[in-house]
Amino acid sequence: MKKMILIDGNSIMFRAYYATAYPGAKLMQTGQGIYTNALFAFVGMFEKIITEDTTNALVAFDTKEPTKRHEVYKEYKAGRIKMPEELAMQIPLINQYIELTGVPIYSKAGYEADDIIGTMAKRCAKDGYHVEIYSSDRDLLQLVDDRITVNLLKKGMREVARFDPKTLFETYQLTHEQMIDLKALMGDTSDNIPGIPGVGEKTAVKLLQEYETLENVLEHKDEIKGKLGERIKEHEELAKLSKQLVTIDVDADIECQISDLEKGEVKTSELITFFQNLELHVFVKKMEEPTAKMESWEYKVIEDEHELGKILKPELAIHFELSDYNYHKAELWGVGITDGKHHYFLSPDFALTSINFQMYLSDESIKKFTYDYKAAKVFLLWQNMEFNNVVFDLLLSAYLINSHLGKEEFKRIVSNFDYEDILYDDVIYGKGAKKGLPEKEIYERHIASKAKAIFELRDPLLKQLKEQEQLHLLNDLEIPLSEVLAEMEYSGLLVDQNELKIQGKDLKERLETLEKEIHELAGITFNVSSPKQLGEILFEKLELPHGKKTKTGYSTNVEVLNDLQKHHPIIEKILDYRQLSKLHSTYIEGVRQNLFEDGKVHTIYMQALTTTGRLSSLDPNLQNIPIRTEEGRKIRKLFIPEENKYLLGSDYSQIELRVLADMANVKGLIEAFNHHEDIHTKTAQEVFHVDEVNSEQRRAAKAVNFGIIYGIGAWSLSEDINVTPKEAQAFIDQYLSIYPEIKDYMENIVNFAKENKYVETIMKRRRYIPELESPVYTQRSFGERTALNAPIQGSAADILKKAMVDLYQYLKKNKKQSKLILQVHDELILEVPESELEEMKEVVPKMMSKAIQLKVELETSCDVGTNWYELK
């Protein structure tokens, strides 16, 4: 039988909006602040309804105009809350989406979507179609018959309840005709339909089971006893009016024809662009799947040394496809190679055993292009192979052009440069537990296609880098840094396994004791690690005064707990428990899980991830090892140098403030720094007009100095230094009058950002700030703070990176055994043999200080120890 799908657009749209706009939810938005939550949920539902084999369908919408129902009953739908602005803004998007799917849309002034659906349903059923209606409005159940099925969306939108005459009767013990009378009797608050006051669903069903129809109920009204009978007699007219209102018009005067309901072609490429623009990437991925790319190019599988020998030459793009993001333990899935004209695939076995290939990759005089040089280089180091003289890295280049791209996957990066001949990794390999290799031809081609993309994007990206004056940044900073980081990661950091065991055992025991004590004090056992359970115990069972609440319950963070210390002895224990369990699970267990057979941890420095230009570290994160509390700091004893070596650490003193002093040309700061004054004390002296600064004053001055770097606000500063927002504001004003150049800088940089849509660092690293154009205040304010902070944080990152490259080259040139092993944003840690200790104590801090020439000196400190704990 021919199938016709009729969709109640309004009803589904509302359901889509409210499914994702529950109280406290943060509505989904694009970077520009366009709301997309309703669209997102609508598409999800729509895709389930409209499938590839749908041939006939219609989406019906209401219009704003009054309807016939308003004419007979002016209170119709009165009191209904206005459509939220956030939803109204999405209606054009939803319409646009439907149009792109090829499904016809219809609406007509004076008619509700219900009436359009009712009328078309009957017409189609008469014409021999089987009709499937989709809505979340139970009113439509009156349309059910042998040829019309109504599907009601359930709450989570995950499933639908399907009603045909049989299931309808099973569910309500009523026929479809009786559904109308049911509503007429009980009314409907959401549409402001009165029904008979005092009659609800239960009573209405009972009446209909006895008398079958509303008319028959009214006819026999005198038989009905008691209050109910009185009410029916009294409100007979209301019931009749209600019936008129709830009856769907199945013969509406609409010019929509069955022939108009043919589904058109999906406008695939436009739809992809639509989703891309609205940052709904999940749907973009789904679209890519069935639209396999035009196979307008061929690749060749290279299987022997002879063939390989013929294709190896300078300036090939080479892509190593690895099974896992953690390349220290990943396996190779294949290698893609291209010279721009011919494209090749190498199997993992061949690539890793070929002598020709090994020689080629390690050759320092042959230039190569790749994507994620560091990943390939480290992977190959584990295979005892080298990868040298890479002069173009697609990942790093894209990251420099727009630092937001670094977080994206290969496909999304290249598609940003309008290169579309690439599929998503998810689509090829699956994801999560299901990740694996598909058919040979599919993944070989995918891997070769990546090499092709690297090659073809090289020229345009280099051109753009040149225009943005960033070639230096790529060639002399990021690519050399990849080599430095590769060696650091591969070298790894040795862990004292005995210390790990001792600290682990100690922490475990103390945690068990604390847990028991906490349970005793609470008078009940519960999971102390569960913020939910803890909140209930503290604020309901123990009735402690609760502070702020979170989305899901009571807040139990350190701040809240500290304020509760005096109320109950349990709090101190909980704070201890929290601290120790953090140390145990994140650091002791974290390190243990990431230990390699060589007794070391091999972190991964993400070189193209942060939007500011900093590195980040993972598996394990070695950039957040505790130091602020003595208890936590002991974790640093786990990390030791190799035998007969020392750890040497050197860090910049207040590099970000110095960068600010330089970039904003702040006379007062420059002078203070160059006289080696304590900058916070100096600031306090100026701000408070005193010679002798007390610790409170210094703390406040320090908070402002920091706050300035983050794009300070009076409110947050007041929280930080415990004064009223007004006092904090006065404090900031005073600060800015002492350092007027900072005030100018703040204004200038925000204006620059608004004009150019980006800000840049000393070394021309860019960060685009789309939030500045957002209509949403919080987004825009965030953009302004970012404009202030990114150049400072980013320049400091540039400088340390430069120092790393300089130092690495020095060590290499002078054939030193000392090597860099850690970078923590403003400090470097090296492993140094005793014989080089004295030299390195000189060289390392000096190279860091001289990495760049600023208007202020870059001071550095230097410490040596036999474990990380001993540094500083």
Considering the complex, what minimum distance in angstroms separates the CB of residue 373 from DNA? 18
3-state SS class at 788: helix
Residue 787 CA to residue 759 CA, distance in Å, equals 6
Residue 515 CA to residue 525 CA, distance in Å, equals 9
Q: What are phi and psi of 863, to 5 degrees?
A: -135, 155
Burial 63-87 (b: 16+ CB within 10 A, else e): eeeebbbeeebeebbeeeeeebeeb
Burial 811-846 (b: 16+ CB within 10 A, else e): beeeebebbbbbbbbbbbbbbbbeebeeebbebbbe
3-state SS class at 849: helix
Residue 298 CA to residue 292 CA, distance in Å, equals 15
Considering the complex, what minimum distance in angstroms separates the CB of residue 784 from DNA? 9
Considering the complex, what minimum distance in angstroms separates the CB of residue 139 from DNA? 29
Residue closer to DNA (CB basis): 67 or 718:
718
Residue closer to DNA (CB basis): 209 or 778:
778
The pair of structure tokens assigned to 534 is: 């803890």
Residue closer to DNA (CB basis): 142 or 607:
607
Residue closer to DNA (CB basis): 132 or 478:
478
Considering the complex, what minimum distance in angstroms separates the CB of residue 412 from DNA? 16
Considering the complex, what minimum distance in angstroms separates the CB of residue 304 from DNA? 41
Residue closer to DNA (CB basis): 606 or 837:
606
**List of long-range contacts for 562-566, beta carbons under 8 Å, 24+ apart:** 564/538
Residue closer to DNA (CB basis): 70 or 785:
785
Considering the complex, what minimum distance in angstroms separates the CB of residue 37 from DNA? 12
Considering the complex, what minimum distance in angstroms separates the CB of residue 635 from DNA? 9
CA atoms within 13 A on the CB side of 824: 16
Contact 356, 369 (CB under 8 A): no
The pair of structure tokens assigned to 179 is: 């559904």
Residue 323 CA to residue 576 CA, distance in Å, equals 41
Considering the complex, what minimum distance in angstroms separates the CB of residue 114 from DNA? 33
Contact 451, 336 (CB under 8 A): yes
Residue closer to DNA (CB basis): 377 or 614:
614
Residue 623 CA to residue 825 CA, distance in Å, equals 8
Residue closer to DNA (CB basis): 550 or 814:
550
Residue 3 CA to residue 56 CA, distance in Å, equals 7
Residue closer to DNA (CB basis): 325 or 459:
325
Nearest to 766 by CA among 756, 775, 774, 776: 756
3-state SS class at 767: strand
Cα-based distances in Å from 85 to 35, 90, 567, 650, 660? 10, 9, 45, 55, 42
Considering the complex, what minimum distance in angstroms separates the CB of residue 781 from DNA? 6
Residue 30 CA to residue 36 CA, distance in Å, equals 7
Residue closer to DNA (CB basis): 388 or 623:
623
Residue closer to DNA (CB basis): 415 or 789:
789
Could you tell me which residues come within 8 angstroms of residue 200 by beta carbon, excluding any fewer than 6 positions away?
186
Considering the complex, what minimum distance in angstroms separates the CB of residue 655 from DNA? 8
Considering the complex, what minimum distance in angstroms separates the CB of residue 735 from DNA? 11
Considering the complex, what minimum distance in angstroms separates the CB of residue 180 from DNA? 37
Positive or negative, the CA dihedral 378, 381, 383, 389 is positive
Contact 199, 228 (CB under 8 A): yes
Residue closer to DNA (CB basis): 151 or 617:
617
Cα-based distances in Å from 279 to 276, 636, 697? 5, 42, 47
Residue closer to DNA (CB basis): 717 or 746:
717
Considering the complex, what minimum distance in angstroms separates the CB of residue 828 from DNA? 11
Find out whether the peptide bond into 626 is cis, omega within 30 degrees of 0: no
Considering the complex, what minimum distance in angstroms separates the CB of residue 598 from DNA? 19
Residue 371 CA to residue 493 CA, distance in Å, equals 26
Q: What are phi and psi of 596, to 5 degrees?
A: -95, 170
Residue closer to DNA (CB basis): 269 or 593:
593
The pair of structure tokens assigned to 353 is: 């055993």
Considering the complex, what minimum distance in angstroms separates the CB of residue 65 from DNA? 32
The pair of structure tokens assigned to 822 is: 């850690």
Residue closer to DNA (CB basis): 332 or 583:
583
